[in-house]
Amino acid sequence: MTGIKLLLVDDEAEFVNAMAERLHMRDLAGHTALSGAEALEFVEDEEPDVIVLDLKMPGIDGMEVLRRVRRSYPDIQIIIHTGHGNDLDEAEAWSLGVFDYLKKPADIDLMVERIKAAYLQKR
């Protein structure tokens, strides 16, 4: 399923680049952003279909990115992918309308499945 405009957001460059490479090998090409600010800039310029978003980042954290994207771009599907989230974060993410909430490191095949499902829901 090509044609999905995908944005991967994580402040850990090695991690997000490895994930982008693994997704690319499964025919899902994604752009990467290493901060919340960079992610919001990309969203404004490109309006992706699906965002895979880390929560804990310096500066603008993932929850704030989620809030801002929801407010201005309600059709973008967001999958939280975090190693630091707690039950309160997860509850808030669901209340803000995330498509899914996955704990790091999520299985790559599960990630592919959830990205494709999110894209289909957006369409």
Tell me the C-alpha distance between 98 and 71, whole Å.
13
According to the model, what pLDDT value does residue 85 have? 80
What's the burial of 116, exposed, middle or buried (CB within 10 Å: 0-12/13-18/19+)? Answer: middle
Q: Do residues 7 and 51 lie in contact, with contact meaning Cβ atoms separated by under 8 Å?
A: yes
Lay out the sheet containing 6-9: strands in order across. 30-33, 6-9, 50-53, 77-82, 100-103
According to the model, what pLDDT value does residue 112 have? 96
Within 10 angstroms of residue 11's Cβ, the number of other Cβ atoms is 18
- pLDDT 10s digit of each residue in the chain, 123 long? 568 999 999 999 999 999 999 999 999 989 999 999 999 999 999 999 999 999 999 999 999 999 999 999 999 999 999 998 899 999 999 999 999 999 998 999 999 999 999 999 988
Say which CATH superfamily domain 6-106 falls into: Response regulator (3.40.50.2300)
Which of 11, 12, 48, 42 shows the shortest CA–CA distance to 29?
A: 48
Query: What is the model's pTM?
Result: 0.95
* Domain spans in the chain, listed from the N-terminal domain onward: 6-106
Burial track 53-79 (b if 16+ CB lie within 10 A, e otherwise)? bbbebeebbbbebbebbeeeeeebbbb
Both structure tokens of 123: 């369409």
Q: Do residues 80 and 61 lie in contact, with contact meaning Cβ atoms separated by under 8 Å?
A: no
* Cα–Cα distance list, 87 to 50, 84, 90 (Å): 23, 10, 5
According to the model, what pLDDT value does residue 2 have? 61
